[in-house]
Structure 1
């Protein structure tokens, strides 16, 4: 099995939004910001190549279709994920599966592209099964007031129209080495992939735990629509990770990609930096 992170680009998010009720005097010691409280966040994708021939992507960044509408995020150093795959000897048509943790624009925007010849939207990975939870898909189609500005139908409609969408209702295995588990809180039905490699079980924590600074269960983003649920789901994920020595991959941390975690009394913290 091969596992590799690919950063598809970066943007600025307000530190107060990222850390919610935690005061800046506390969060600024763990995560840097600029003079306007802007924190640099990565849009991290994960490439998994299994020994059975699966080529799997987890999330794919914002793409470039809505950058003008989202200009206040000040995107920079955007990478074309298709070109990044080609650098690794993989054509987008060879991707077998795309796991979308959830459908906010910064996680699924590259799922579709505008065809330069026809002007129509087409799937970026035309032969891939796109895994999404049913709860998240329904929330995407009928968003609540707090999330509606984070969803763009153009990011997923062509995928659904081509029958490339696979909805899941419960925890399931994509293949023997990749399990998809459902966590709520940040948004309904977020998928957290568990990748069972010979070295570690890697957990792509998504926006359940987007930054290593967010390992503390009480450090909950203001973007989370159900913060008490987020707290309980973080505890569920962290307790298993500590007990089993799992490695967490942080989708938005611009400085730390992956680490194991440990629990000291009632306090959780990073342990060994990986990847």
Structure 2
């Protein structure tokens, strides 16, 4: 097995929304805001090269939305999905499986693209199976008012209509379920229904793709919960259990949304679980 971080692009989000009830005077120490109160956010995916399988975890925002849409998110930097795949030695047609932690637009928008004539949408990975779970699919395709703007039908329905969509069997919360893709999955429900966090055994360590359970290094303290979460009190419990296990089992956390830190290790302190060290993926593993 070989892993490749895939940078699909950076953007900005409101710092207050990203940290919920935590005051700016505190969160800006780790996530400084610009004059518009926006903080740096990444859309970092992960490519798993495992035998005949080439599995991409999440796909970023994609590029099919309107300029008006993207103007809300202040994109910056020069990362793209295709360039990152090329740097790793691959093309999107090589991808055999696309695993989506959940179906918010910044995690799955790159799964669908315009066709050559710009007249219809089509899967962006023509040879891949797209993986979600049935409970989350129902949640996303029949969205609540709070999340409706994050679940875009153009990101979802083309995967189903193509026949390339499959469901992973649901696992119980707080228990890691082994999947047919060769890695474990932790199901969590605080951010959105049945978000899936991959647990990947790699070079003697467990690497956890934290998705939106822990967005950045600044979100490590248990009470630091995003305003986007649908069940913030449940997130508190899920984070507390996860962080205890992460310290006990010496997990490495791989951040999807931290624009300035790819990975970290953890330690227990008098204040709870906190950051031990940050790493780039290549410095740690190569």
TM-score normalised per structure 2: 0.91
In the other structure, the counterpart of 2:274 is 269
Give the equivalent residue in structure 2 for 1:66.
65
**Match in the other structure for 1:16:** 16
Please name the residue that 1:235 is paired with. 240
CA distance in 2, matches of 1:72, 1:14: 10
- Does the alignment pair 1:187 with 2:186? no
Residue 123 of structure 2: aligned partner: 123
Alignment deviations for residues 238-267 of structure 1 (CA, whole Å, 9 cap, x no partner): 111100001011111111111111222351
1:158-180 CA distance string (max 9 Å, x none): 11112211213423433474112
Per the TM alignment, residue 19 of structure 1 is displaced from its structure 2 partner at its CA by 0.5
**Where does residue 223 of structure 1 map in the other structure?**
228
Contact 1:100/1:132 (8 A) holds in 2: yes
> Distance in 2 between the 1:43 and 1:229 partners?
24
User: Quick check: 253-262 or 81-90, which moved more?
Assistant: 81-90
Partners of 1:239 and 1:56 in 2: how far apart? 28
Matched, 1:132 2:135: no
Residues 70, 86 of structure 1: alpha-carbon distance in 2 compared, 3 angstrom cutoff: closer
Match of 2:55 in 1: 56
Structure 1 residue ranges (4+ consecutive) displaced by more than 6 angstroms after TM superposition: none
Q: Map of 1:15-164 to 2, 5 A cutoff?
A: 15-50=15-50, 52-67=51-66, 68-77=68-77, 79-117=79-117, 119-164=119-164
Say if 1:135 and 1:169, in contact at 8 Å, map to a contact too: no
Q: Is 1:48–1:56's contact at 8 Å kept on the other side of the alignment?
A: yes
- Taking the aligned partners of 1:53 and 1:272, their CA distance within structure 2 comes to 34
How far apart in 2 are the matches of 1:235 and 1:267?
A: 9
After superposition, the Cα gap between the structure-2 partners of 1:120 and 1:273, relative to the gap in structure 1 and judged at 3 Å, is same
2 CA distance for matches of 1:154 and 1:241? 36
- Offset from partner CA, 1:6-57 (integer Å, 9 cap, x none): 221111111110001000111111111111211010011111112x222111
SS of residue in 2 equivalent to 1:206: coil
For residues 218 and 168 of structure 1, the distance between their equivalents in structure 2, rounded to whole angstroms, comes to 30
Distance verdict in 2 for CA 1:74–1:260, change over 3 Å: same
- Using the alignment, how far apart are the partners of 1:105 and 1:46 within structure 2? 17
C-alpha separation in 2, matches of 1:112 and 1:78: 20
* 2:260 is the alignment partner of 1:255: yes
What per-residue deviation string (whole Å, max 9, x for no partner) do you get for residues 213-252 of structure 1?
1011100010111000111111121111100001011111
Shift of 1:70: 4.1
| TM, length-normalised to structure 1 | 0.94
> Which residue does the alignment assign to 1:203?
208
Query: Which runs of 5 or more residues in structure 1 are unaligned?
Result: none
Distance 1:72 1:176 in 2: 35
**How many residue pairs were aligned?**
274
